Structure 1
Amino acid sequence: MPRFHHSTFLLLAVLVYHLSVPSVHGEVGNGGHQDLPALLSFKSYNPNATALATWHGPNPCSSTWFGIRCSRGRVVGVFLDGASLAGEVAPLLRLSHIRALAVRNNSLSGALPPLDDATASPWLRHLLVARNRLTGSLNISLGALLTLRAEHNGFRGGLEALRAPSLRSLNVSGNKLAGEISGDLSRFPRSAFGGNLALCGTPLPRCVRAYNALGSDSSSNATTSIAAQSPGAAVNVSGSVPSSSSNGGFSKLSLTALMATGIGNAVLITVSLAISVAMFVYMRRKLRSAKDASDAALCFEEQEKRANGDDKCQKSGGLVCFEGGEELRLESLLKASAEVLGKGVSGSTYKAVLDDGIVVAVKRLSALQFPASRSKAFDRHMRLVGRLRHRHVVSLRGYCNSNGERLLVYDFLPNGSLQSLLQASGGGARSLDWAGRKSILFGAAQGLNYIHTFPARPALVHANVKPSNILLDERGGACVSECGLMRYATNIQQSVVPQAARCPPDLFLGRAATATSSAAPPAASVGWHGYAAPELASGAGARATQESDVYSFGMVLLEVVTDHKAADGEEGGEGEETMGMVKIGVLCTAEAPEERPTMAQVLAMMSEFM
């Protein structure tokens, strides 16, 4: 009887085990966690990477995994550009529902596995693996692929195995590819294939046949040149001229022939040299104009139309995209779900979630402040701002100027602005200690200095430095936003009033005055325009300068520092640092613009307290 009970117990245990195993796998299949093994396999190459520090837990779609975008419980996007990652990219390509993979500017190595609709995601549309150390061949056959950016790697072989009929943007420059460009790929511009010395065919020079034709003529050219260099020898070979001992008349004739030959050669060399110089000047101007036209990375549609000789994207005011925004589409922006982040004088800002799971911030400019009459100057400025890339400057990924509607597409920073942080810390919601305040101010100063020192003529000016334009990234770092926008606003003078009520420096030096000011409403809440330099209120012709930017930054610095003094008081060394920062702010807010320091000097002074 005990043996019977024991057998029954074992049978029940085995039955429970077999029932539990499929139930667990069913939960994984229905819960959308099939992507976890591939992501953890990729993380195993970089166990200590800062960008992957949040990659833990059973559900990668829990919105806590950095760089992961999901849709309906499945991973559809991985965005890890410039994350200092190593290892192979193959695990990420095993994600069965991925639509966009961006891992540019890393140290990834190994070969790309063969990609087709059976071995990879049939929905993969954007594959961005540029500037890594990838090798092997480009064996890709994906019907949905729209973008392939694989420049500056070590790919070898030909392009015969690259089949993507829907491809709109291609760049495989700076690799070791060889062979002939044929088929549908020949519609892309030369820049898409540059740096591959063994590639040939349209749009590059023709293949080996042109070289062989040149080589076959080399012997005849050499023979001709030899004959030209030695006419006397050629005459002697013919045997038609008598020797020099026959008479003296032949000597004169020979001398005349030699002089004529020399003069002819000199004229020929001069003409050839003039033609070469003219061709050099022409090609140099042509290359320079091409470089100026391509300073800002254009959108996929614009690149395709430029390859066909038709720049309709730019002329029609369509969406123009810059580095990092290649996957943007105007129709996706217009269809995206939007959430209002804020409204101001320049326009409204929205948080937009695109179909691919990409989150961006879209600024819709006010038609009243930015009329179409200044469209050309505004477009030139936007193309310049689109080139700004700095960790403390919010990157402009694209802009649209069409039918009086202007949209600016920026990176979305989830932690709000310095203004919201100051207001929250005043209410006790999010405390901001002294170290955090110094870090934010120093980061904003670095971003502003980068804008001021960017190589541009005329020099770049921010023109609207204030706490609401200093945003905070995922790590709490400060990023300066909306560079130069207000320089192109027509009614900017209405928002800059004479500053008779401007706060004097004594306010920031006295503890009692600070306490009094802390009891008053915040300046931002009552519409105080104290961030603008006093010279901007002198008349309609006043324009923002780098000196006025320094003044505005000084006012922001003083507000942040005094807000800390009023909220937390001074303790030990913090008091000395606070007073040092106040002195920097006072220097920045000097009445005369020429007496203010540059942002480089401000950075040097602030670094003593960091």
Structure 2
Amino acid sequence: MGGRGAPDATRMLVVAVVGVMVAAAAVLCPAPAAAGKLGKQAKALVAVKAALHDPGNALWDWDLKFGNDPCHWNMVTCHEGQIQELSMTNKNLSGTLSPAIGKIRSLRYLLLHQNAISGPIPDTIGRMKLLEVLDLSNNHFSGSIPSTLGNLANLQYLRLNNNSLSGPIPESLATDALMIFNLDVSFNNLSGHRPAFRTWNVFFEGNPFLSDIGSESIAAPVAPKDVKEEDLQFMSKSIFMLLVCIAIGCSLVAVVTGAVLFWKRRQRERVFAVADVSVHHDPEGCLGHLKQYSFQEMRMATNNFSQRNILGEGGYGIVYKGDLPDGTTVAVKRLKDHDSVVGDDQFHTEVEVISLAVHRNLLHLNGFCVANNERLLVYPYMPNGTVASKLKECVDGEPALDWAKRKRIALGASQGLLYLHEQCDPKIIHRDIKASNVLLDEYLEAVVADFGLAKLVDHWMSHVVTSVRGTIGRIPPEYYLSGHASEKTDVFCFGLLLIELVTGRSTLELHENEFDKGGIIELAKELLEQNKLSMFVDRKLGSNYDSAELEEMVQIALLCTMYRSCHRPRMSEIVKMLEGGDGVAEKWQAMKDIEEPNPDSSSEFVCIGINYDVDECNSIELQAVELSGPR
């Protein structure tokens, strides 16, 4: 017995030492746990790929032979070792979406729109509790909308439009997913009633079997049982007085509104008279100089709005390529936000005013179509697509847009915006300037397009207060926080357009570990100060750019994206800077150290505007840079 005790003690000591070593390794080297989690997510992505058909081999590196870290795989974006985004837009994918997608619990953005994916929407998506944006639009998904999507407490944008979904809209989306800001289920085969959502940005059209009758969103208040009779009488009198006050207030508002509308109508009548544009229909189906098409003509031109004819999609409409009987190729935009058009008269008036903005750098409106609740706009077809798509292209190993072409695009877009802001009456605020909304004609001339969010503003108004709409990540701070939209809203977005032209990036979001002190604007500022802009410029350009011009363009971009709107230049000033570059460096030196506002300050947007050019003439006296009829 005593002889066996020593080996047992030795064995126990060895086991104890090994245990301590394992414990120490677990404390000092926690990475395998994280690697294990990413390994599971990598396997999930491999399963997702297996269920898809990928003729373009877009998912070529979704393979475990490339390792267990999917953060380095194509179209996968991570943050701090967690998968945050899958962006597989317009990749010609078909097949089905595997339920394994639900295993990626850290996902915040799932973007699969403009493919040909079919089959049901996996109910496992409801397990991704951090999901904020889910875009499955313009696919071939069928079956019902999973009720589990109501479990997504952080979901803000849900787009399921242009699929083949059927059945009812889950009530849970309205009652449980309370963060939803934008919901689009249009153009499916949904049936049943429409739940009452807490947001106005809900689009149901194109579902002929969907009932208009929805559940009530606000229940009527019921008096507690222990309330005294005299209290109820007092409450009744108070409510009566409140209703009287509201009625009087509404009457005053109606009078004032009527006076303002009358004045604006007179003003616009003068505009139409000057432009010699008739606002009446003629026997040949025209409205002024615009042609009015029938819905049947538009259906035939676009091959019944075939998905194969889709040129692009924005938040307010899908653009189709169309061929008219006379051989003319056009772009037909089918508007989705029908509820915002109050009657044909208002629609015609807005079309007329926008059509008055005739400039070589603005997309010209050829005609329109009004049929029942359909609203379509007909534009010339732009053969070179958008700036965003062209920035990705290479020809014989060289970028399709060299540095000189990018400079010309920047100048052309600024001239178009200058015309909208300072030479139109009423002036027009675009509100969604970006590379994907700037088209290129046959000569690669910039043509500002997509006026889906445009606002008409009288020249005496400094801004308008509207619901916040635009592209996520490109909304200026004053617009996002207060709803104040002005010309400086467009200036901010134009600054980001310049950054797109410089970097060639398809998204302005930074890559993991690229920069930890802010976003792309802060990165540009730091690289400018460190004289390292060569790290910022599009790699496709190589060294084929002018360093001085690059520095000036980045400086202009930073001036345009100043936090306070009054610190940003006007478009007339931007045009001058892009044309000659005189004084750009001095203007940036004067502005670069302006202190950022305290987010908690109540005077956040109160500041004194900066005069970039003391010799600047009154904007009303400016002449159009160049007007042209073709567009």
Give the TM bin, normalised by the shorter chain.
0.3 to 0.5
TM-score scaled by length of structure 1? 0.40
Say which one has the larger Rg: 1
Instruction: Give the structure with the higher percent helix.
Output: 1
TM-score scaled by length of structure 2? 0.39
